[in-house]
Amino acid sequence: MVSSVKSVAVALLVAVCGAASERLRGARCARRRAGCAARARAGGDYASFLAVPYAKQPLAALRFQELQPAEPWKGCRDATKPGPICPQRDLFYGPTMRASEMSEECIHANVYMPLQYLPAASEGAAPRNRTLLPVLVYIHGGGFGFGSGDPDLHGPEYLMGDNVVVITFNYRLGPFGFLSLNSSSVPGNAGLRDMVTLLRWVCRNARAFGGDPGDVTLAGQSAGAASAHILSLSEAARGLFKRAILMSGTSTRSFFSTSPAYAQYVAQLFLTNLGINGTDPEEVHRLLIDTPIEKIIDAQNDLQDVIGITVFVPVVESAHPGVEIILDNDPEILQSQGRGKDIPFLMGFTNAECQTFRPRFESIDIISRIAEQPVLVMPPPAIYVTPLDELPNKIGQIVQRYFNGTPNLNKFIKLCSESYFVYPTLKLAEMRAANGGAPVYLYRFTYEADYSVFQEGLRLKYRGTGHSEDLTLLFRANHVLGERAISPRDHKMVDAMTTYVTNFMLHSNPTKGVAGWPAVKREKLQYQNIITPELVTTEVSRDLRDTMTFFDNIYSSSS
């Protein structure tokens, strides 16, 4: 039984050594408890450091700016409790997350490692001849607008039996993380910059936690997966990680558009809501700095109610003096050019993705909205690549295929699942295979757990596996599960999922290179159908091929 919620006190220290250095060391601290030790699912203890700042907090004039180096502290820093979550309005997680304080002082990481690999007090950072562990850096999801990396939903217990270091973290969300004014003061993609800052921090400090800075795997789910995909295409993140895991999310043909036209549209709505009407971006920036956080959140809430779930998102950037570009072109163009093709991918989707969004779709009455604005059936990126005179025809094709003249919520959920998650994942796998380079391993997750964290937490009932349900068999959802022991059947699936991931971290292959999970080939698009812990290789079905062909046509233009 997992018992990590009953943390056993251990005297551990996370300390910055010297004003000019951020080197962190694990050590014994005689009087103050600075970290925690806990028991992993497979036995053995692990060390836990929570709410470790990886940069200076972006307050006042630093709001919207690139993060600055963390300020040093003296003595023992208490790392036993989660810190505040970043300002947000949660539209998805609900009771699966704990009620938490929100603050702009939210830039922190949570670090977990097997206790025996934590360097001793006398060692400082791990010596060079010590065995170093592979590092998993995980980016949480939440539509770029909500969520956190904290252990209430992303507990490390399942992974801690496998001799890896796990790092989760918070990054700026909503307008704080993804508002773009296309200026040097608010260039956009602040949340992505936070992720790059975190990865650089990991490279500098991984040894202090027994981790190998040269063996980092970047993983993410939903918006976190899309972010990981963007970082695989970004020159700014080159060399900061070796491989990537994308769970239900890509940045190509996805649930959001990186078009600067969309970013400008949302920014204008946002500023108008705040009563900011200036045209000078530097003056607008000054006004935004002076705007109370509550007012910014209220304006974001209004936009979420108008647009749906995802509002502020990554954007293709223009060049500005003194600003490092994170996303320099449309992700699909970068992908087609072979950017990032040397990074192995493990990627997949579930078979009932959008079922978990049902409460949100009901609350905004999505079917009535579609009747008023039929363009809502279009995938967001397709809107910005389709000529205006072709839009009605594309909308009509989608309505005919998915609604057959009578829209309802179940039909929309199927459209949502296939257009936002299934098709983009299959298409990216196909594109990567066509470009050559590092291998891509694809899965379709169809396992229905005995205890579904999201169905229980959100009080839902549906058949299939919804968005985020594969994640709960990789990370422990501590807030929902509490002291509950998962069933033997679910435990076997946890073992399988963690084994696939740790094998991929160690070997860039989820099965150590043995037969059973072949990489995607240009001439054969196949995946693992994860319905049981046993491997089942499946070629993409005729129905899925038909879905791919359909959306290929939606994204194509006759002009």
At 11 the pLDDT is 32
Which residue has 């043909």 as its token pair? 253
Query: Are the CB atoms for 148 and 174 separated by under 8 Å?
Result: no
Which regions in the chain score pLDDT beneath 50? Answer: 1-33, 121-127
pLDDT for res 13:
34
Q: What is the pLDDT of residue 129?
A: 56
Farthest CA pair distance, the chain: 72
Which CA distances in Å does 247 have to 88, 133, 144, 194?
Answer: 22, 23, 15, 20
How high is the pLDDT of residue 512? Answer: 86
DSSP 2-63: --TTSPEEE--EEEE-STT---EEEE--SS---EEEEE-TTSSEEEEEEEEESS----GGGT
H helix or E strand, kind and range, residue 167: strand 165-169
Please give the pLDDT value at position 247.
98
CATH 3.40.640.10 is right for the domain spanning 1-559: no
Helix (H), strand (E) counts: the chain: 17, 14
Instruction: Tell me which of 222, 227, 452, 508 is the catalytic residue.
Output: 222
Specify the pLDDT at position 559: 56
pLDDT given at position 29: 33
Which of 108, 285, 467, 479 is an active site residue? 467
Query: Domain residue spans in the chain?
Result: 1-559
In one-letter notation, the amino acid at residue 457 is G
Is 353 marked active-site? yes
pTM: 0.92
Question: Packing angle between helix 260-274 and helix 293-307, nearest 10 degrees?
Answer: 130
- Is 418 one of the catalytic residues? no
Tens digits of residue pLDDT in 178-204? 999 999 999 999 999 999 999 999 999
Please state whether beta strands 24-27 and 13-16 pair in parallel, antiparallel, or not at all (unpaired).
Answer: antiparallel
Please tell me the predicted confidence (pLDDT) of residue 37: 59
Whether 157 is catalytic: no
The pLDDT value given to residue 1: 31
| Tokens (6 digits) for 501 | 């991931």
What is the pLDDT, as a whole number, of residue 41?
A: 61
109 φ, ψ to 5°? -120, 155
Out of 317, 353, 418, 430, which one is annotated catalytic? 353
The DSSP 8-state label assigned to residue 270 in this structure reads H
